[in-house]
Amino acid sequence: MSITVDRLKSLLDAQGVRYFLDPHRPVILANFAGMFGAYQVLFQVDLDGRFLLIRTLGYGSCPTSHPHCQAVLQVLGNLNYQMRSTKWGWDPSDGEIVACVDVWLEDATVTEKQFGQWLSVFLPSIDMAHRRIAEAMSSGIDPGVTVPPPPPPPPTHDDFASV
């Protein structure tokens, strides 16, 4: 069992997605708009249809020389830990930040419901994370992680009322 570009087109059509079909490769490109940005998503059929890659293009960039690169990498690591299907990556050679979903289709076909679920998880996750990554890049602080205030100092003799 596998997926073909024609099947991928029908799945995107069923979701109401407008797309561009690469005439030379098994790749489809679509644009999506969210609350916090606009995103290009690539759908690639590979390994004779046994593998489907869903990934962002041009999502973000944070070169190794960026002063807040460490904070961005911590956000990406935290996103990888928290999210179930969306994986986050960073290419140190050029600073590219990507989000992707890898789908192995060894012995199954993709249903419209499954495909719709992948999109309904992937698209909001890249949109919600976009602002968090941008904030970490600009400030060096991950706004998704709240640091609890320090505990109050232990009581002193003056804090007790005399009886």
pLDDT digits (tens, 9 = 90+) for 129-158: 999 999 999 999 888 865 555 666 666 545
In a domain, 80, yes or no: yes
* Residue ranges making up the domain that contains 75: 5-138
Domain tally, the chain? 1
Flag whether pLDDT at 161 surpasses 50: no
CATH number of 60's domain:
3.30.1460.70
Say how far apart CA 131 and CA 79 lie, in whole Å: 13
C-alpha 11/C-alpha 13 separation (Å) is: 5
Domain membership flag for residue 38:
yes
Q: pLDDT tens digit string along 28-76? A: 999 999 888 899 999 999 998 889 999 999 999 999 999 999 999 999 9
**How far is Cα 144 from Cα 71, in angstroms, rounded to an integer?**
11
For residue 144, being part of any structural domain is answered with no
pTM over 0.85, yes/no: no
Q: Tell me what the mean pLDDT of segment 104-122 comes to.
A: 87
9 in Cβ contact with 28 (< 8 Å):
yes
Name the β-bridge partners of 43. 28, 54
Q: 143 lies in a domain?
A: no
pLDDT at 94: 95
| Whether 44 contacts 27, CB under 8 Å | yes
